[in-house]
Structure 1
Amino acid sequence: MKVEEIERLLAEFYEGNTTESQEEALRDYFRTTEVPEHLLKDKEFFLSLYQAADRDVEVPAGLGDKLSLLIDEKAEEEQRFFRPNKSKRNWRWIGSIAATVLLLIGIGYGVDKLGNDVCPPTPQDTFSDPEEAYRVLQATLLEVSTNLNQGIAQVKETQVDMKKVNQEVKKEIQR
């Protein structure tokens, strides 16, 4: 047999598309012929696969019964595992109804509040005497101005301190 034919049969074998006669041909080829180097791994695999099949393997007594029992147990476990849980399904249904009711209540509350707040309330005067309002406004503006000036002075002091620190750091770096 040609190497190309063996490679084609091996590809079909690995895909599971060979017949028994083709597998027999491969087994005979690997048993009787020297194979190219790139087929040595395939030869080793193929021969080890079929040597185990050629030997008589002693099967322990009752193994078939044990395997059948194990298969039946696993099938029952699988059925119990995949059986729908009715109580979970009921809770899910009840939870979805509760969520829907809460959502509708929230939407209704929001629409109600939105409808009541259509026009904002008008601001009320806090002073009845305009002279008094003017004096309070002057005092407030004076306090804001004073605090602003103090803040600006502190920022200027901080800037001077930062310049000194930067100069000292530059001196240390240059050393």
Structure 2
Amino acid sequence: MKVEEIERLLAEFYEGNTTESQEEALRDYFRTTEVPEHLQKDKEIFLSLNQGADRDVEVPAGLGDKLSRLIDEKAEEEQRFFRPNKSRRNWRWIGSVAATILVIIGIGYGVENLGKDVCPPTPQDTFSDPEEAYQVLQATLIEVSTNLNQGIAQVKETQMDMKKVNQEVKKEMQR
């Protein structure tokens, strides 16, 4: 056989497209012929894969029956495992119906109350004596004024500090 033919058969063998006669031709070629160096690795691989092809393998008695029983057991286990749970499905159905009813009730309640005129509550009088209300108002305004004046004084101090810092920065930049 030519090397090109062997390379083509090897490519088909690695793709899984060879017949038994083609594999036998490859086996004979690699056993009997000195192969080129670039096919040495292929020879080792092919011969190691086909090492036991000449010998008949003894199948233990009853192995086929054992395998059939095992396959049947696994199929039954799979059916039990994937069997739908009817009680869980019923609870899901009941829950979805209850949720739908609650949503409908909520929408109905919202639509009913949406049309009503909702006004904010009117303020109630907290003082019955106008003189007492005037004194409390005056005390509150004095406290607000005092706090405001303190805040303004702090802002003025900060402005003075900023002016000083700006003057120093200008002096440093002119040097």
Q: TM-score, normalised by structure 2?
A: 0.64
CA deviation after TM superposition for structure 1 residue 117, in Å: 5.2
Q: 1:146 to 1:59 in 2, by over 3 A?
A: farther
CA deviation after TM superposition for structure 1 residue 159, in Å: 13
Moved more, 72-81 or 115-124: 115-124
Partners of 1:37 and 1:166 in 2: CA distance: 88
Unaligned runs of 5+ in 2: none
Partners of 1:142 and 1:124 in 2: CA distance: 24
Q: Of the two, which has the highest radius of gyration?
A: 2
Moved more, 151-160 or 40-49: 151-160
Partners of 2:161 and 2:106 in 1: CA distance: 57
Partners of 2:135 and 2:93 in 1: CA distance: 67
Moved more, 42-51 or 125-134: 125-134
Q: 1:163 to 1:18 in 2, by over 3 A?
A: farther
Q: 1:37 to 1:166 in 2, by over 3 A?
A: farther
Moved more, 20-29 or 36-45: 36-45
Deviations 1:113-160 (A, max 9, x none): 433355555656767888876654553343344446667889999999
Moved more, 2-11 or 121-130: 121-130
Q: 1:105 to 1:11 in 2, by over 3 A?
A: farther
Moved more, 109-118 or 86-95: 109-118
Query: 1:76-95 residue pairs with structure 2 within 5 A?
Result: 76-95=76-95
Moved more, 100-109 or 32-41: 32-41
Query: 1:1-175 residue pairs with structure 2 within 5 A?
Result: 1-37=1-37, 39-116=39-116, 120-121=120-121, 136-147=136-147
Q: 1:170 to 1:51 in 2, by over 3 A?
A: farther
CA deviation after TM superposition for structure 1 residue 73, in Å: 0.8
CA deviation after TM superposition for structure 1 residue 86, in Å: 1.8
Q: 1:82 to 1:42 in 2, by over 3 A?
A: farther
Moved more, 92-101 or 103-112: 103-112
Deviations 1:25-84 (A, max 9, x none): 332333233445554443333222211222232332322221111111111112222222
Partners of 2:54 and 2:170 in 1: CA distance: 88
Partners of 1:35 and 1:169 in 2: CA distance: 92
Unaligned runs of 5+ in 1: none
Q: 1:121 to 1:56 in 2, by over 3 A?
A: same
Partners of 1:93 and 1:127 in 2: CA distance: 60
CA deviation after TM superposition for structure 1 residue 94, in Å: 1.5
Moved more, 101-110 or 91-100: 101-110
Count of residues in correspondence between the two structures = 175
CA deviation after TM superposition for structure 1 residue 105, in Å: 2.3
Q: 1:68 to 1:173 in 2, by over 3 A?
A: farther
